Structure 1
Amino acid sequence: MISKWLFSGAALFELSSFAALLDNLSTVEATLLYVSAHGLASVMLSAGVWLLLPRRYKFPLPWSPLVLFSLAFFIPILGTLGVILAVFPALYLPRRAKPQVLNSMDVPELPFRAQELGRDLMFNDGGLQDVLRHAPSPERRTMALMATRRMNGKDSIPILKLALRDPADDVRLLAYSMLDQQESQINQRIEKTLNQLQTAPQAQHSALHSTLARWYWELAYMGLAQGSVLEHVLNQAREHVERGLSLGAGDDMHLLAARIAMEQGLLEEARSHLSAAKAAGLAQEKIAPFKAEIAFLQGRYDEVPLYLSQLSSEALARPPFGALARYWL
């Protein structure tokens, strides 16, 4: 009922606004009278239309009625007709609902991703992380953690660390226990080797220092050490690998020393160790990937394809070198 009165008032004011232009008045008086009458008509029309709009179109305020007012006020005649022709047919002649062409289905249980069939299907890294992030059942997330027992340490560590933020206490405790178990095993080997180093004859010191360097590097490589602990572990690995090399350790120790130096950001030192490894007869295929990485980090991009081309075709077909070969070669 209110809308009808508003529409009637809007029509009267709009007609009176045109009458002002036809009356024998001065330009200023005619303009003021027209703008006032047209403005009131626009306000009443906007209010009447706004009251008839569905609730979802009425908000947010004041923008919804302001749009209607702007169309009616700033476009004389055509604006008013436009608002009426745009709103009323939509209100009283709504579009018929189209038949539903899609069948709604329940959300499938996560993880839901296409996977290639293979021997290690259930231990896919991405799949297990999806389970930990999205599976609603704590039992399923626990099963995902148990599946990491069949994975190598470097691949399982990120999954276990992700589980440390799980909302379920049982999942967090299991993840912490599995991480602690892996770290404890390495620390026990380090402690055992340190005890052997104290009593072993001098001839065995080279091999023992090499073993200690490998286990300290394993802590860093697997991601079990972080922050200041990681810095300490890398320093210990570097110290033992240098002692092992000074005592005549195997040529592969140069490669390990290069990897430790790269992790510490000592790229020139890493290059020296790789050169020493090459001079000692270590296979070029083992050295080339690290030389390519150092060249990339130092901005010598023209040398990257040179080092990658030294790898065999079989190596370049396997990840991660396949993607690198397609880009650089």
Structure 2
Amino acid sequence: MASLKLGLYALMLEISAWTGVFLLDAGNDAKLSWYLIIHLFASLLLATFAAALLPAGPARQRIALLCLMAGCSYGVPVAGFIGVAVGVILLRLYRAPPEQEIFESLQLPVFDPHQRQQSGFRQSGLKSFLGNSAVPMNARIGAMVALQYVPGRVSSPLLREVLSDPSEDIRLLAYGMLDNQEKRINRAIDEELKAFSAARQTEGDETPGTGMLEAAQRLSDLYWELVYQDLAQGDLRDYAIGESRRYCELVLSRQPDNAPLNLRLGRLLHEAGDVDAAETAYQRARALGLPATRVLPYQAELCFERRDFAGARRLMLELANWGSLPRLRPVINYWTDSR
């Protein structure tokens, strides 16, 4: 709006400069002086108006352009004024479209399918954070609430650590979260037990059918989740291991070549302390075609518990040939270090 007013003022002054020449009742020198002075102000206002419409640029260039337009308008009385005004308006209306920037070609980074997004806290850092009574209560409660989006294998040990916290609110929240996780699995177990009983009545105990075997495998999975997520403690843990093993062996009695279930049986026997039977189950799972990366870590753990460190080192050397084990890499490097 201000630039438009400057343009109108410049036009009015230019008209006044010419009308004064014809209307003033004075000598030629006075008329010429009147015209030159008014025309000078009109040229300056026109140059200011035109500079405001042009694209932004360095200050030195704008000053030079302002002087050029004012000089052109002042030096060429009629054509200069009209030319500057028309030229600026045309430049304003018919400005050339901006050139499109050329995108720079970048090489894609190497994608690691085993790399996962890290959360704000690592497990050890979150453990110390939750156990620090100096941290504000709201921050600790917020961190605990965020654990509901963390796998149970990670969240359950952290929640058990704060069951002895001095704050009653923290203890109650941790207990409630653990109780909800356990109840969710127990509800699923109850549903599968009903399905197992129904299939058992239909198919009989002598020759378990597909429905009975599927329900038994799901029950083995659910009881194992209680152990794996560290939700079952003490006698309840022993009971969950026994039930998972019982249903696992039921399925294996009809499907002895089921490699994942043989691995499951090995882990259950391992948890129960039957090391020799666990080793046999691990070897059978591997013989049935299960990838070595899924079995060798448990076999190495068995060797370590037997204090067979040479065997553990041998298995770790075998694992070192696999490059897709980022989580086990520090352990593998420790055991395979030649020093």
TM-score, length-scaled by structure 1:
0.60
Contact 1:220–1:230 (CA under 8 A) maintained in structure 2: yes
Deviation at residue 241 of structure 1 after TM alignment: 0.8
2:159, 2:178 within 8 Å by CA — same for their partners in 1? yes
Q: Report the Cα offset of residue 166 of structure 1.
A: 2.0
Letter in 2 for 1:236: E
Cα-Cα RMSD: 1.9
**1:125: which partner in 2?**
123
Q: Which residue of 1 aligns with 2:185?
A: 186
Cα distance in 2 for partners of 1:129, 1:295 equals 30
More off after superposition, 207-216 vs 197-206: 197-206
What is the aligned-residue identity percentage? 28
Of 293, 298, 304, which aligns to 2:306?
A: 298
Q: Give deviations 1:127-183, integer Å, cap 9, x for gaps.
A: 222222223422121011012122111111121112222222222211111111111
1:155 aligns with 2:164: no
The match for 1:113 is none
The letter of the residue matching 1:215 is L
Q: Which amino acid aligns with 1:287?
A: V
Unpaired runs of 5+ residues, structure 2, are: 1-115, 204-208
List runs of 5+ in structure 1 lacking aligned partners.
Answer: 1-117
The corresponding residue for 1:212 is: 219
AA in 1 matched with 2:327: P
8 Å contact 2:313–2:335 — kept in the other structure?
no
Pick from 243, 265, 268 the counterpart of residue 257 of structure 1.
265
1:198-237 correspondence to structure 2 within 5 Å? 198-200=197-199, 201=203, 202-237=209-244
Structure 1's 304 and 151: CA in aligned 2 closer, same or farther, altered over 3 A?
same
The verdict on how the C-alpha distance between 1:197 and 1:306 changes in structure 2, with shifts beyond 3 A counting, is same
Seen in structure 2, the aligned counterparts of structure 1 residues 136 and 296 have a Cα distance that, compared at 3 Å, is: closer
User: 1:1-329, aligned counterparts within 5 Å?
Assistant: 119-134=117-132, 135-200=134-199, 201=203, 202-248=209-255, 250-311=258-319, 312-316=321-325, 318-329=326-337
CA pair 284-323 structure 1, distance change in 2 beyond 3 A: closer
Contact preservation (8 Å) 1:206, 1:245: no
| Superposition misfits of 4+ residues, deviation over 6 angstroms | none
Q: TM-score, normalised by structure 2?
A: 0.58
In our comparison, the structure showing a higher alpha carbon Rg is 2
CA distance in structure 2 between the aligned counterparts of 1:326 and 1:167, rounded to whole angstroms: 38
Match for residue 99 of structure 1?
A: none
Deviation of 1:119 after TM superposition, in Å, equals 4.3
Q: Partners of 2:238 and 2:135 in 1: how far apart?
A: 38
